[in-house]
Amino acid sequence: MAWVHPALGVVGALLTIWVGFLGLRSRQKRPDAPVARKRHRRFSTWAWIAVLVAAIGGPISTLLFRKDLKLAESLHLPVALLVAALMTGGWYTSRQPRAKAVLWEWHPYLGIAAMLGAAWALLLGLGILP
Ligand code: HEM
Ligand code: HEM
């Protein structure tokens, strides 16, 4: 069971990085921009959900299945929670209709920070695998 969280975490982190690239691609003047935009809208929500479930499941997994680990022993905890917060910011700033979206101009920057954080959380997670 100690592997369930890392497996979901890898999916969440890689999805975050992938949807981030889709979002950035959707802004460029290139033929595949409209497709990237559609995919970004669709899959970002799943990336966000995966990251939230990982953020809730990680500490539970540490407490229940990792007698060798204490809570907050590694930087993985703060970095991962930061990613969850940034992705929630991505969701919050992207709600439709656009005219009502708050701080829309922050959306790409929150997103890029989430991508970097996801890569960092992944590396830190690899360091505490069972
Ligand atoms: C963005 C996605 C992720 C989030 C939000 C997340 C969140 C967390 C949190 C909050 C903890 C508790 C840590 C503590 O109390 O010190 C944790 C534990 C852990 N995380 Fe993650 N994590 C993510 C991705 C990953 C990835 C990609 C890996 C592996 C490559 C990973 C491996 C682990 C491991 C091994 C533990 C200890 C518990 C266990 O073995 O199941 N995490 N995670
Ligand atoms: C992973 C990090 C993310 C990055 C790098 C990112 C980046 C971007 C960029 C560059 C755009 C185009 C902005 C513009 O046209 O000015 C965009 C649009 C959008 N993003 Fe994100 N984003 C991320 C995460 C998210 C999340 C978590 C959600 C929702 C849960 C989301 C939902 C949307 C939506 C709905 C749009 C509008 C698409 C459209 O115009 O049809 N994004 N994103």
Residue 99, pLDDT > 70, answer no
Ligand number with the minimum distance to the CA of 121: 1
For residue range 18-63, list pLDDT tens digits in order: 999 999 999 999 999 999 999 999 999 999 999 999 999 999 999 9
Q: SS3 for the chain, per residue?
A: CCCHHHHHHHHHHHHHHHHHHHHHHCCCCCCCHHHHHHHHHHHHHHHHHHHHHHHHHHHHHHHHHCCCCCCCCCCHHHHHHHHHHHHHHHHHHCCCCHHHCCCHHHHHHHHHHHHHHHHHHHHHHHCCCC
Q: How confident is the model at residue 100 (pLDDT cuts 50, 70, 90)?
A: confident
What pTM value is reported for the model?
0.93
In this structure, which residue's CA is closest to atom 9 in ligand 1? 58
In this structure, which residue's CA is closest to atom 32 in ligand 1? 125
Per-residue pLDDT at 97: 75
Domains and CATH numbers, the chain: 4-126 (1.20.120)
Ligand number with the minimum distance to the CA of 17: 2
Per-residue pLDDT at 109: 97
Q: Is the CB of 6 under 6 A from ligand 2?
A: no
